[in-house]
Amino acid sequence: MKSLSYLNKYLLKYKWRLLFGFLFIAVSNIFGAYMPLIVGDAVDEMILIQQKADTRDQLWGIAWSVFGLYMLMSLGKGLFLFFTRQTVIVTSRYIEYDLKNEIYNQYQKLTYNFYKKNNTGDLMNRISEDVSRVRMYLGPGIMYSVNLVALFVIVVYQMIAINPEMTLYVLLPLPIMSFLIYRVSSRMNRESEAVQRQQSWISTLVQETFSGVRVIKAYSREKETTEQFNTSSEAYKNKSMRLTLTNSLFMPTIMLLIGISTIITIYIGILLTYEGSVTPGNIASFIFYVNMLTWPFASIGWVTSLVQRAAASQERINEFLNEQPEITNSNTTALNVEGKIEFKNVSFTYPYSGITAIRNVSFTVKPGSSLAILGKTGSGKSTIVNLLTRQFDPQSGEIEIDGQNLNSINLEQFREQIGVVPQEVFLFSDTIGNNIRFGMGKEDVPQETIEKAAKAMHVHHNIIRFKEGYNTVLGERGINLSGGQKQRISMARAIIRNPKILVLDDCLSAVDTETEEIIQQNLKSIMHDKTSLIISHRISSIRECDHIIVLENGSVIEEGTHESLLKINGYYTEMYEKQLLEEKSTTD
Ligand SMILES: Nc1ncnc2c1ncn2[C@@H]1O[C@H](COP(=O)(O)OP(=O)(O)OP(=O)(O)O)[C@@H](O)[C@H]1O
């Protein structure tokens, strides 16, 4: 329950709206509490009149006055019930909106490690399902609890005024009813969670089947996949059946308990009428009052299990909200990147795998020059990019940008001035134009600028071949691009921002050598006064770089220019010769 105290700041934010809501609850209950009195008084008056001779007109008179008064009270109660929902329930919706935004902002602040630790389903659940459960506490939970208190005070006050003894007997079964409803609703919640879990499992299964449909078909595994789906579906059906059975018990339990309370009221009422301490009209009023109290009492059980669920959900939400981002932007002073990069004895071990990806790596890239990183797969090349973009901080050594430690400069502005093309291309399910425009952030980018970037990356001629050109939608239900086209669009996204430092992480691997050459020529003129860091397996892509480092198992084993490295006659030369041979055999 302690976890829910996190929401107090929001309750305080909307305190006036809530206080008005509570006032409206009280007023609507005052109107409601008069209704049984009107009926009770009318019953007593009718009995009195019936004992006289000419009663017809008088009975009609009472009927009309009951009708008028009852309507008035109903309207008053209804109107204030409307105001209650417009304040309390609306507040819960406002808080739901605020909380979702807070969680989403926190997600944006958290670093790569956090995303590695938690799966996407979990992240989605906490911002959607968990927030919805918390809202049930903030809306219906609070509303029904306040309503119960207000109704109890007002109604019990009226009942005691009529007959304290009868009040005591009539109220006795209500706590038992709350307990029974609590048990039924707890069971309902447990079962509905099991159904939801099974549903998410089916969704994951189906989604994977759709994404991997080509692999499934290629390996002829349709039968197994269908069987797996059928088993999960069967489990879902059984869980749903159990939930339906419990759901069916909910209303009959309430009806039975209301019935029992009404019978007790009539029985006790008749006994007390013999004694002369209550009138038939009082019994009628009590029957109304008992019916008015039963649902709010039943709701105690329902609200209790609802609050328990909300507390568990809020605890999960708090776990993420309390997570401290490992990388923070400590400096907000303006930054103008010149482009000098320096790694000084940098070592880094990935926190979860414990793999030491780079060891004592040192290099310097002067502003406006280019550095290439070459090495076998898993040698630590992408790790250098991860460290340069501050996805992680190294455990030892220093990374400097223009002579300042990377940890101490304005990270946001630094990232704004570099262009990174990651190894794994990611394009959004949006138009091609918007995917390239993404590199410029919120700015309004003219179409010519987008086309210029696409032309430089030699992909414009591919784009205009699509019917919708730059407005072609990619991804789900959109067009799929070839690997090379995706890479070039992703590069256009990086160069459109005119970066001071350009980082290309093996992003031309799916492009043929002829196209690669054209792109390189274009890059040369775009980046002539800027710094570039190029990672590649192909020596043809990097031979013209000002400096080349060769990595093996995270350490620099060779470095120099293309010519000086060939003179060493080591790993670089070996790779070069191998690639020359491969090239020759494909051209022969
Ligand atoms: N996020 C991560 N968490 C844990 N270990 C990682 C992570 N990323 C990489 N590694 C490990 O660090 C080592 C270096 O990986 P890195 O991606 O830097 O290599 P690379 O030289 O870029 O390889 P490739 O050429 O195949 O892209 C590898 O052993 C890899 O398994």
Among 262, 257, 279, 261, which Cα is nearest to 270's? Answer: 279
If 0-12 CB within 10 Å is exposed, 13-18 middle and 19+ buried, where does residue 163 land? buried
Q: Where are the alpha helices (DSSP H) in 376-482?
A: 381-388, 411-416, 432-437, 447-456, 460-463
Identity (one letter) of the amino acid at 486? K
Cα 131 versus chain centre, distance: 9
Asked which of 54-58, 66-70, 173-177, 446-450 is least confident by mean pLDDT, the reply is 54-58
Task: Let me know: does 549 contact 559? Beta carbons within 8 Å.
Answer: yes
Q: Give the per-residue pLDDT at 373.
A: 93
Mean predicted confidence (pLDDT) in 394-415: 91
* Tens digit of each residue's pLDDT (9 = 90 or more) over 197-251: 788 788 878 878 887 888 898 888 889 999 999 999 999 999 999 989 988 887 7
Ligand 1 in reach of 32 Cβ (< 6 A): no
Distance in Å, CA 521 to ligand 1 centroid: 30
Q: How crowded is residue 263: how many other Cβ atoms within 10 Å of its Cβ?
A: 12
Q: How crowded is residue 372: how many other Cβ atoms within 10 Å of its Cβ?
A: 25
Identity (one letter) of the amino acid at 528? H
Strand order in the sheet with 341-349: 356-365, 341-349, 396-401, 404-405
H or E stretch covering 549: strand 547-552
- Long-range Cβ contacts of 182-185 (<8 Å, 24+ apart): 182/300, 182/301, 182/302, 182/304, 182/305, 183/301, 184/246, 184/249, 184/250, 184/253, 184/301, 185/250, 185/301, 185/302, 185/304, 185/305, 185/306
Mean predicted confidence (pLDDT) in 141-169: 90
- The ligand 1 atom at the shortest distance from the C-alpha of residue 383 is 18
pLDDT of 120 strictly over 80 = no
Identity (one letter) of the amino acid at 318? N
Ligand 1 in reach of 424 Cβ (< 6 A): no
Res. 303 pLDDT band, cuts 50 70 90 = confident
Question: Where do the domains of the chain lie, and which CATH numbers do they carry?
Answer: 2-321 (1.20.1560.10), 341-417+499-587 (3.40.50.300)
Please give the Cα distance from 26 to 43 (Å, whole number): 27
H or E stretch covering 514: helix 513-526
Res. 533 pLDDT band, cuts 50 70 90 = very high
Distance in Å, CA 53 to ligand 1 centroid: 102
Residues 6+ apart with CB under 8 A from 153: none
Distance in Å, CA 551 to ligand 1 centroid: 12
Task: Let me know: does 319 contact 110? Beta carbons within 8 Å.
Answer: no
pLDDT of 104 strictly over 90 = yes
Residue of 359, 379, 506 best suited for mutating to test ligand 1, as the one with most atoms within 8 Å of CB: 379
Please give the Cα distance from 155 to 292 (Å, whole number): 9
Residue of 347, 349, 350 best suited for mutating to test ligand 1, as the one with most atoms within 8 Å of CB: 350
Ligand 1 in reach of 356 Cβ (< 6 A): no
Task: Let me know: does 461 contact 418? Beta carbons within 8 Å.
Answer: no
pLDDT of 361 strictly over 60 = yes
∠161-165-169 over CA atoms, to 5°?
115
Mean predicted confidence (pLDDT) in 29-52: 83
Asked which of 140-144, 233-237, 337-341, 444-448 is least confident by mean pLDDT, the reply is 444-448
Res. 586 pLDDT band, cuts 50 70 90 = low
Mean predicted confidence (pLDDT) in 343-368: 91
Higher pLDDT, 380 or 526: 380
Question: What token pair was written down for 478?
Answer: 């959109």
Mean predicted confidence (pLDDT) in 46-75: 78
Please give the Cα distance from 557 to 66 (Å, whole number): 98
* DSSP for residue 431: B
Residue 398 DSSP SS3 = strand
pLDDT of 585 strictly over 80 = no
Q: Give the per-residue pLDDT at 477.
A: 53
Q: Which of 183-187, 412-416, 537-541 is most confident? A: 412-416
The residue whose CA is least distant from atom 3 of ligand 1 is 350
Distance in Å, CA 85 to ligand 1 centroid: 55
Q: Give the per-residue pLDDT at 321.
A: 92
Task: Let me know: does 421 contact 519? Beta carbons within 8 Å.
Answer: no
Q: Give the per-residue pLDDT at 252.
A: 84
Q: Taking all residues of the chain, what is their mean pLDDT, rounded to a whole number?
A: 87
Residue 507 DSSP SS3 = coil
If you search the block for the tokens 């980046």, which residue do you land on?
527
* Tens digit of each residue's pLDDT (9 = 90 or more) over 268-282: 888 888 888 888 888
Q: Which of 19-23, 127-131, 436-440, 551-555 is most confident? A: 19-23
Residue of 326, 359, 383 best suited for mutating to test ligand 1, as the one with most atoms within 8 Å of CB: 383
Ligand 1 in reach of 350 Cβ (< 6 A): yes
Q: Give the per-residue pLDDT at 570.
A: 86
Question: What token pair was written down for 395?
Answer: 């455990």
Q: Where are the alpha helices (DSSP H) in 276-322?
A: 280-321
Mean predicted confidence (pLDDT) in 95-109: 94
pLDDT of 478 strictly over 80 = no
Mean predicted confidence (pLDDT) in 85-106: 95
Distance in Å, CA 363 to ligand 1 centroid: 20
Ligand 1 in reach of 382 Cβ (< 6 A): yes
Ligand 1 in reach of 479 Cβ (< 6 A): no
Please give the Cα distance from 18 to 439 (Å, whole number): 44
Please give the Cα distance from 187 to 183 (Å, whole number): 6
The residues with which 401 forms a beta bridge, in sequence order, are 341, 404
ipTM of the complex: 0.95
Res. 539 pLDDT band, cuts 50 70 90 = confident
Residue 138 DSSP SS3 = helix
Phi-psi region of 554 (alpha: psi -120 to 50; beta: other; left: phi over 0): left
Distance in Å, CA 184 to ligand 1 centroid: 52
Higher pLDDT, 92 or 329: 92
Asked which of 112-116, 287-291, 347-351 is least confident by mean pLDDT, the reply is 112-116
Among 106, 23, 474, 115, which Cα is nearest to 318's? Answer: 106
pLDDT of 56 strictly over 80 = no
Q: How crowded is residue 502: how many other Cβ atoms within 10 Å of its Cβ?
A: 24
Distance in Å, CA 355 to ligand 1 centroid: 9
Cα 226 versus chain centre, distance: 30
Please give the Cα distance from 99 to 132 (Å, whole number): 10
The per-residue b/e assignment along 165-197, b for 16 or more CB within 10 angstroms, e otherwise, is ebbebbbebbeebbebbbebbbbbbebbbbbee
Distance in Å, CA 74 to ligand 1 centroid: 70
Among 152, 557, 170, 255, which Cα is nearest to 376's? Answer: 557
Residues 6+ apart with CB under 8 A from 185: 250, 301, 302, 304, 305, 306
Ligand 1 in reach of 112 Cβ (< 6 A): no
